[in-house]
Amino acid sequence: MRILVLGGTAFLSRAVAEAAVARGHDVTCAARGVSGAVPDGATLVPWDRADTVPADLTATPFDAVVDVSRIPSHVRRAVAAFPDAHWTFVSTINVYADTATPGGTPASLPLLDPIETDEDPASGPETYGAMKVACENTVRTGAVAALVIRPGLIVGPGDPSGRFTYWPARFAEAARDGLPVLVPEPVDAPVQLVDVRDLAEWMVTAAEAGTTGDFDAVCPPVPRSELLAQVADGAGADPELVPVTPEVLAEHEVVPWSGPRSIPFWSADLADSGFMAHDVTSSLEAGLTIRPFAETTRDTLAWLSATPDAKVTGLTREEEQEVLAAVRG
Protein backbone atom coordinates (compact mmCIF):
# COMPACT_ATOMS: atom_id res chain seq x y z
CA MET A 1 0.00 0.00 0.00
CA ARG A 2 0.96 3.61 -0.53
CA ILE A 3 0.36 5.29 2.81
CA LEU A 4 0.52 9.03 3.42
CA VAL A 5 1.16 10.00 7.03
CA LEU A 6 0.42 13.66 7.66
CA GLY A 7 3.17 14.16 10.20
CA GLY A 8 5.49 11.25 10.82
CA THR A 9 8.23 12.99 12.79
CA ALA A 10 6.94 12.84 16.38
CA PHE A 11 5.27 10.40 18.77
CA LEU A 12 2.05 8.83 17.37
CA SER A 13 2.39 9.80 13.72
CA ARG A 14 6.03 8.65 13.77
CA ALA A 15 5.01 5.36 15.40
CA VAL A 16 2.42 4.85 12.64
CA ALA A 17 5.03 5.50 9.97
CA GLU A 18 7.44 3.08 11.67
CA ALA A 19 4.80 0.36 11.89
CA ALA A 20 3.78 0.82 8.26
CA VAL A 21 7.39 0.70 7.03
CA ALA A 22 8.01 -2.43 9.10
CA ARG A 23 5.13 -4.12 7.29
CA GLY A 24 6.57 -3.31 3.89
CA HIS A 25 4.33 -0.42 2.90
CA ASP A 26 5.44 2.52 0.76
CA VAL A 27 5.27 5.34 3.33
CA THR A 28 5.39 9.07 2.65
CA CYS A 29 5.44 11.53 5.54
CA ALA A 30 4.26 15.09 4.89
CA ALA A 31 5.52 17.48 7.55
CA ARG A 32 7.47 20.68 8.03
CA GLY A 33 10.35 18.54 9.23
CA VAL A 34 11.13 20.64 12.30
CA SER A 35 10.07 18.10 14.96
CA GLY A 36 12.54 15.43 14.00
CA ALA A 37 13.39 12.97 11.26
CA VAL A 38 11.01 10.50 9.66
CA PRO A 39 11.65 6.79 10.27
CA ASP A 40 14.21 4.97 8.15
CA GLY A 41 12.48 3.68 5.03
CA ALA A 42 9.92 6.51 4.86
CA THR A 43 10.08 9.47 2.48
CA LEU A 44 9.68 13.03 3.74
CA VAL A 45 7.86 15.59 1.59
CA PRO A 46 8.09 19.00 3.31
CA TRP A 47 4.68 20.62 3.78
CA ASP A 48 3.51 23.41 6.02
CA ARG A 49 -0.18 22.63 6.14
CA ALA A 50 -1.13 26.29 6.14
CA ASP A 51 0.09 26.27 2.52
CA THR A 52 -1.30 24.58 -0.58
CA VAL A 53 -0.63 20.87 -1.01
CA PRO A 54 2.73 20.22 -2.74
CA ALA A 55 2.58 18.80 -6.25
CA ASP A 56 4.84 15.95 -5.11
CA LEU A 57 1.91 14.73 -3.01
CA THR A 58 -1.04 15.38 -5.29
CA ALA A 59 0.71 13.53 -8.11
CA THR A 60 0.74 10.30 -6.06
CA PRO A 61 -2.33 8.03 -5.80
CA PHE A 62 -2.26 7.13 -2.10
CA ASP A 63 -4.25 4.14 -0.86
CA ALA A 64 -4.47 5.38 2.73
CA VAL A 65 -4.02 8.63 4.63
CA VAL A 66 -3.40 9.05 8.37
CA ASP A 67 -4.01 12.46 9.90
CA VAL A 68 -3.55 13.66 13.49
CA SER A 69 -4.32 17.36 12.96
CA ARG A 70 -6.45 19.49 15.26
CA ILE A 71 -6.84 22.39 12.80
CA PRO A 72 -10.09 22.30 10.76
CA SER A 73 -8.74 24.20 7.74
CA HIS A 74 -5.74 21.86 7.52
CA VAL A 75 -8.00 18.82 7.47
CA ARG A 76 -10.34 20.35 4.87
CA ARG A 77 -7.41 21.11 2.57
CA ALA A 78 -5.99 17.59 2.88
CA VAL A 79 -9.28 15.76 2.44
CA ALA A 80 -10.01 17.79 -0.68
CA ALA A 81 -6.64 16.75 -2.08
CA PHE A 82 -6.96 13.01 -1.27
CA PRO A 83 -10.68 12.14 -1.19
CA ASP A 84 -10.29 8.69 -2.76
CA ALA A 85 -7.99 7.26 -0.08
CA HIS A 86 -8.96 5.38 3.05
CA TRP A 87 -8.70 7.99 5.80
CA THR A 88 -7.75 7.35 9.40
CA PHE A 89 -8.33 10.46 11.46
CA VAL A 90 -6.96 10.59 15.00
CA SER A 91 -9.43 12.52 17.11
CA THR A 92 -9.79 12.52 20.92
CA ILE A 93 -12.16 11.48 23.70
CA ASN A 94 -12.47 15.22 24.38
CA VAL A 95 -15.07 15.33 21.58
CA TYR A 96 -17.73 13.99 23.96
CA ALA A 97 -20.21 16.36 25.59
CA ASP A 98 -21.11 13.74 28.21
CA THR A 99 -18.29 12.85 30.61
CA ALA A 100 -20.59 11.69 33.41
CA THR A 101 -21.90 8.39 32.06
CA PRO A 102 -19.70 5.33 32.71
CA GLY A 103 -19.70 2.72 29.97
CA GLY A 104 -20.22 5.21 27.17
CA THR A 105 -19.39 4.33 23.57
CA PRO A 106 -19.10 6.28 20.32
CA ALA A 107 -22.63 5.11 19.53
CA SER A 108 -24.11 6.33 22.81
CA LEU A 109 -22.26 9.52 23.80
CA PRO A 110 -23.25 12.91 22.36
CA LEU A 111 -20.60 15.10 20.79
CA LEU A 112 -19.74 18.74 21.35
CA ASP A 113 -20.94 21.21 18.77
CA PRO A 114 -18.20 21.59 16.16
CA ILE A 115 -15.96 24.62 15.91
CA GLU A 116 -15.13 25.05 12.25
CA THR A 117 -12.68 27.91 12.67
CA ASP A 118 -9.00 27.63 13.51
CA GLU A 119 -9.12 28.60 17.18
CA ASP A 120 -6.22 28.23 19.58
CA PRO A 121 -6.67 24.66 20.89
CA ALA A 122 -4.66 25.60 23.98
CA SER A 123 -7.66 27.62 25.15
CA GLY A 124 -9.14 24.51 26.76
CA PRO A 125 -10.15 20.88 26.28
CA GLU A 126 -13.66 21.78 25.09
CA THR A 127 -12.31 24.04 22.34
CA TYR A 128 -9.83 21.35 21.36
CA GLY A 129 -12.57 18.72 21.35
CA ALA A 130 -14.99 20.86 19.36
CA MET A 131 -12.33 21.54 16.71
CA LYS A 132 -11.69 17.80 16.48
CA VAL A 133 -15.45 17.26 15.94
CA ALA A 134 -15.27 19.60 12.94
CA CYS A 135 -12.26 17.70 11.60
CA GLU A 136 -14.07 14.37 12.05
CA ASN A 137 -17.06 15.68 10.10
CA THR A 138 -14.84 16.83 7.25
CA VAL A 139 -13.22 13.40 6.96
CA ARG A 140 -16.54 11.53 7.06
CA THR A 141 -18.19 13.69 4.42
CA GLY A 142 -15.19 14.19 2.16
CA ALA A 143 -13.33 10.86 2.09
CA VAL A 144 -14.50 7.72 0.35
CA ALA A 145 -13.79 5.67 3.50
CA ALA A 146 -13.28 7.08 6.98
CA LEU A 147 -12.01 5.63 10.25
CA VAL A 148 -12.18 7.94 13.26
CA ILE A 149 -10.01 6.97 16.23
CA ARG A 150 -10.58 8.71 19.58
CA PRO A 151 -7.66 8.11 21.95
CA GLY A 152 -7.47 9.17 25.54
CA LEU A 153 -4.02 9.51 27.07
CA ILE A 154 -1.40 8.03 24.74
CA VAL A 155 1.67 6.79 26.60
CA GLY A 156 5.00 5.10 26.06
CA PRO A 157 8.44 5.92 24.67
CA GLY A 158 8.55 9.33 23.02
CA ASP A 159 5.62 10.79 24.99
CA PRO A 160 5.96 14.58 24.71
CA SER A 161 3.42 15.32 27.47
CA GLY A 162 5.37 13.80 30.38
CA ARG A 163 2.14 12.83 32.14
CA PHE A 164 2.21 9.03 32.35
CA THR A 165 6.01 9.27 32.28
CA TYR A 166 5.85 10.80 35.76
CA TRP A 167 4.83 7.45 37.25
CA PRO A 168 7.58 5.20 35.86
CA ALA A 169 10.11 7.90 36.75
CA ARG A 170 8.71 8.27 40.28
CA PHE A 171 8.64 4.54 40.98
CA ALA A 172 12.19 4.22 39.66
CA GLU A 173 13.23 6.97 42.10
CA ALA A 174 11.45 5.10 44.90
CA ALA A 175 13.34 1.92 44.01
CA ARG A 176 16.57 3.87 44.51
CA ASP A 177 15.82 6.00 47.56
CA GLY A 178 13.34 3.78 49.46
CA LEU A 179 10.97 6.68 50.18
CA PRO A 180 7.16 6.46 49.90
CA VAL A 181 5.10 7.53 46.90
CA LEU A 182 2.09 9.84 47.10
CA VAL A 183 -1.03 8.59 45.29
CA PRO A 184 -4.28 10.51 44.93
CA GLU A 185 -7.57 9.25 46.26
CA PRO A 186 -9.75 7.54 45.28
CA VAL A 187 -7.05 4.96 44.64
CA ASP A 188 -9.41 2.64 42.78
CA ALA A 189 -10.93 5.21 40.44
CA PRO A 190 -10.93 3.91 36.84
CA VAL A 191 -8.27 5.06 34.42
CA GLN A 192 -7.79 4.43 30.72
CA LEU A 193 -4.77 4.87 28.46
CA VAL A 194 -3.10 3.27 25.44
CA ASP A 195 0.50 2.51 24.50
CA VAL A 196 1.48 4.49 21.42
CA ARG A 197 2.80 1.36 19.72
CA ASP A 198 -0.43 -0.58 20.23
CA LEU A 199 -2.39 2.33 18.79
CA ALA A 200 -0.06 2.67 15.80
CA GLU A 201 -0.17 -1.04 14.98
CA TRP A 202 -3.96 -1.03 15.13
CA MET A 203 -4.17 1.98 12.83
CA VAL A 204 -1.99 0.30 10.20
CA THR A 205 -4.01 -2.91 10.49
CA ALA A 206 -7.23 -0.95 10.08
CA ALA A 207 -5.89 0.84 7.00
CA GLU A 208 -4.91 -2.51 5.48
CA ALA A 209 -8.38 -3.90 6.15
CA GLY A 210 -10.24 -0.76 5.08
CA THR A 211 -11.93 -0.50 8.48
CA THR A 212 -14.43 2.34 8.85
CA GLY A 213 -16.45 3.76 11.73
CA ASP A 214 -15.82 5.53 15.02
CA PHE A 215 -13.83 3.93 17.85
CA ASP A 216 -12.41 4.93 21.22
CA ALA A 217 -8.73 4.01 21.53
CA VAL A 218 -7.93 3.23 25.15
CA CYS A 219 -7.65 0.16 27.34
CA PRO A 220 -10.65 -1.15 29.25
CA PRO A 221 -11.09 0.74 32.55
CA VAL A 222 -8.43 -0.22 35.09
CA PRO A 223 -8.46 0.75 38.78
CA ARG A 224 -5.65 3.23 39.39
CA SER A 225 -4.26 0.94 42.09
CA GLU A 226 -3.93 -1.88 39.55
CA LEU A 227 -2.27 0.39 36.99
CA LEU A 228 0.23 1.62 39.59
CA ALA A 229 0.95 -1.96 40.63
CA GLN A 230 1.89 -2.69 37.02
CA VAL A 231 4.04 0.44 36.89
CA ALA A 232 5.77 -0.59 40.11
CA ASP A 233 6.42 -4.04 38.67
CA GLY A 234 7.90 -2.57 35.50
CA ALA A 235 10.10 -0.23 37.54
CA GLY A 236 11.26 -2.96 39.90
CA ALA A 237 9.87 -1.06 42.89
CA ASP A 238 7.71 -1.87 45.90
CA PRO A 239 7.39 1.40 47.80
CA GLU A 240 4.90 2.37 50.46
CA LEU A 241 1.98 4.12 48.74
CA VAL A 242 0.40 6.96 50.70
CA PRO A 243 -3.14 7.90 49.60
CA VAL A 244 -3.99 11.60 49.94
CA THR A 245 -7.43 13.14 49.44
CA PRO A 246 -8.09 15.77 46.74
CA GLU A 247 -8.99 18.27 49.49
CA VAL A 248 -5.63 17.87 51.20
CA LEU A 249 -3.80 18.04 47.89
CA ALA A 250 -5.60 21.30 47.11
CA GLU A 251 -4.58 22.69 50.52
CA HIS A 252 -0.97 22.06 49.54
CA GLU A 253 -1.43 23.59 46.08
CA VAL A 254 -1.08 20.30 44.26
CA VAL A 255 -3.00 20.37 41.00
CA PRO A 256 -4.34 17.55 38.80
CA TRP A 257 -3.40 16.23 35.37
CA SER A 258 -0.16 17.98 34.35
CA GLY A 259 2.19 20.86 34.89
CA PRO A 260 4.28 22.07 37.85
CA ARG A 261 3.18 20.77 41.27
CA SER A 262 0.76 18.33 39.69
CA ILE A 263 -0.17 14.70 40.09
CA PRO A 264 -0.26 13.64 36.44
CA PHE A 265 -2.95 11.38 35.10
CA TRP A 266 -5.26 12.26 37.99
CA SER A 267 -8.42 13.98 36.79
CA ALA A 268 -9.92 15.15 40.12
CA ASP A 269 -12.75 17.51 39.23
CA LEU A 270 -11.56 18.10 35.66
CA ALA A 271 -13.88 15.38 34.47
CA ASP A 272 -16.80 13.33 35.70
CA SER A 273 -16.96 9.63 36.44
CA GLY A 274 -17.41 8.61 32.80
CA PHE A 275 -14.33 10.38 31.43
CA MET A 276 -12.04 7.39 31.93
CA ALA A 277 -14.66 4.63 32.02
CA HIS A 278 -15.55 4.07 28.36
CA ASP A 279 -16.74 0.71 27.05
CA VAL A 280 -14.15 -0.23 24.41
CA THR A 281 -15.52 -3.66 23.49
CA SER A 282 -16.02 -2.60 19.87
CA SER A 283 -12.42 -1.38 19.61
CA LEU A 284 -11.01 -4.63 20.94
CA GLU A 285 -13.23 -6.58 18.56
CA ALA A 286 -11.93 -4.38 15.70
CA GLY A 287 -8.32 -5.33 16.48
CA LEU A 288 -6.99 -3.02 19.19
CA THR A 289 -4.63 -4.91 21.49
CA ILE A 290 -3.33 -3.72 24.86
CA ARG A 291 0.10 -4.76 26.12
CA PRO A 292 0.80 -5.04 29.87
CA PHE A 293 1.59 -1.62 31.29
CA ALA A 294 4.57 -3.10 33.11
CA GLU A 295 6.09 -3.49 29.64
CA THR A 296 5.18 0.10 28.76
CA THR A 297 6.85 1.18 32.00
CA ARG A 298 10.09 -0.69 31.29
CA ASP A 299 10.29 0.71 27.77
CA THR A 300 9.45 4.22 28.96
CA LEU A 301 12.25 4.06 31.53
CA ALA A 302 14.69 2.85 28.86
CA TRP A 303 13.66 5.79 26.68
CA LEU A 304 14.07 8.22 29.59
CA SER A 305 17.55 6.85 30.27
CA ALA A 306 18.51 7.41 26.64
CA THR A 307 16.79 10.82 26.45
CA PRO A 308 17.96 13.01 29.36
CA ASP A 309 15.95 16.03 28.16
CA ALA A 310 12.65 14.12 27.89
CA LYS A 311 9.75 15.93 29.52
CA VAL A 312 8.48 14.65 32.87
CA THR A 313 5.74 16.80 34.35
CA GLY A 314 4.45 16.87 37.93
CA LEU A 315 5.67 17.18 41.51
CA THR A 316 9.39 16.90 42.04
CA ARG A 317 10.51 14.19 44.45
CA GLU A 318 11.34 16.89 47.01
CA GLU A 319 7.93 18.57 46.68
CA GLU A 320 6.19 15.21 47.02
CA GLN A 321 8.05 14.36 50.22
CA GLU A 322 7.30 17.82 51.66
CA VAL A 323 3.58 17.24 51.08
CA LEU A 324 3.75 13.79 52.65
CA ALA A 325 5.63 15.12 55.67
CA ALA A 326 2.96 17.78 56.18
CA VAL A 327 0.15 15.25 55.76
CA ARG A 328 1.68 12.90 58.27
CA GLY A 329 2.40 15.68 60.74
- The reply to whether 239 falls in a domain is yes
Predicted confidence at residue 124, as pLDDT, reads: 78
Are 184 and 322 in the same domain? yes
DSSP of 254-299 = -EEESSBTEEET--GGGS-TTTT----HHHHHTT-----HHHHHHH
Listed as own residue / partner, the contacts of 176-179 with beta carbons closer than 8 Å and 24 or more positions apart are: 177/317, 178/239, 179/239, 179/317, 179/321
> Cα(166)–Cα(181) distance, rounded to whole angstroms?
12
Terminus-to-terminus CA distance in the chain, angstroms?
63
Instruction: Give yes or no: residues 307 and 173 share one domain.
Output: yes
Whether residues 79 and 205 fall in one domain: yes
Q: Domain count of the chain?
A: 2
Q: Are residues 321 and 229 in the same domain?
A: yes
| Band of pLDDT at residue 142, cut at 50, 70 and 90 | very high
> What does the pLDDT average to over 70-91?
97
Are both 107 and 253 inside the same structural domain? no
Residue 258 pLDDT level (bands cut at 50, 70, 90): confident
Do both 313 and 245 map to the same domain? yes
pLDDT of 266 over the 90 cut = no
pLDDT at 325: 94
Is residue 125 situated within a structural domain? yes
Asked which of 116-130, 163-177, 253-267 is least confident by mean pLDDT, the reply is 116-130
Dist. CA 197–CA 187, nearest whole Å: 27
Q: What is the 3-state secondary structure (H, E, C) of 96-111?
A: ECCCCCCCCCCCCCCE
**29-38, 69-78, 164-173, 264-273 — which is least confidently predicted?**
264-273
| 270 has a pLDDT exceeding 70 | no
Work out whether strand 193-195 and strand 153-155 pair parallel, antiparallel, or are unpaired: parallel
What is the structure's pLDDT at 271?
A: 55
Q: For residues 181 and 116, give the distance between their C-alpha atoms in angstroms, rounded to a whole number.
A: 44
At 253, the pLDDT band (50, 70, 90 cuts) reads very high
Structure confidence at residue 169 (pLDDT) = 97
Question: Which runs of consecutive H residues, i.e. helices, occur in the chain?
Answer: 11-22, 55-58, 72-81, 125-142, 166-177, 196-209, 224-235, 246-251, 281-285, 293-306, 317-328
Question: Of the candidates 184, 126, 134, 148, which has an alpha carbon nearest to the alpha carbon of residue 327?
Answer: 184
Residue 40 lies in a domain: yes
What is the C-alpha to C-alpha distance for residues 218 and 153, in angstroms, rounded to an integer? 8
**What distance in Å separates the CA atoms of residue 212 and residue 88, rounded to the nearest whole number?**
8
pLDDT of residue 269: 57
pLDDT at residue 34, as a whole number: 82
Which pLDDT belongs to residue 125? 80
Q: Do 7 and 101 share a domain, yes or no?
A: yes
CATH code, domain with 176: 3.90.25
DSSP string, 52-71: PPPHHHHTS--SEEEE----
Whether the predicted pLDDT of 163 surpasses 60: yes
Q: Which amino acid is at 200?
A: A
68 and 97 together in one domain: yes
Which amino acid, one-letter code, is at 58?
A: T
Instruction: Pick the more confident residue, 118 or 121.
Output: 118
Range of the domain at 131: 2-154+194-217
**pLDDT exceeds 70 at position 291:** yes
Alpha-carbon gap, residue 68 to 118, rounded angstroms: 15
Work out the average pLDDT over 137-161.
Answer: 97
pLDDT of 265 higher than 70: yes
Which pLDDT band holds residue 121 (cuts at 50, 70, 90)? low
209 and 129 together in one domain: yes
Question: Looking at the domain assignment, is residue 285 inside a domain?
Answer: no
> 23: number of CA atoms within 13 Å, CB side?
19
Note whether 126 and 229 are same-domain residues.
no
Q: How confident is the model at residue 122 (pLDDT cuts 50, 70, 90)?
A: low
The answer to whether 224 and 189 have CB atoms below 8 angstroms apart is yes
- Do both 92 and 171 map to the same domain? no
Query: Is residue 7 included in any domain, yes or no?
Result: yes
> Does residue 44 or residue 33 have the better pLDDT?
44
Q: What percent of the chain has pLDDT over 70?
A: 98
Task: Tell me the pLDDT band of 74, cut-offs 50, 70 and 90.
Answer: very high
Residues 312 and 166 in one domain: yes
Among 80-84, 99-103, 244-248, 273-277, the range of highest mean pLDDT? 80-84
Query: Quick check: is 107 in a domain?
Result: yes
Q: What pLDDT was estimated at residue 272? A: 66
Q: Is the pLDDT of residue 33 over 90?
A: no
Mean pLDDT computed over 284-306: 98
Question: Which of 2-6, 30-34, 108-112, 227-231 bottoms out in mean pLDDT, i.e. has the lowest?
Answer: 30-34
Mean pLDDT, the chain, whole residue set: 94
Q: Which residues of 65-75 are buried (b: 16+ CB within 10 A; e: fewer)?
A: bbbbbbbbbbb
Is residue 283 in a domain? no
Tell me, yes or no, whether 282 lies in a domain. Answer: no
CATH number, position 95:
3.40.50.720
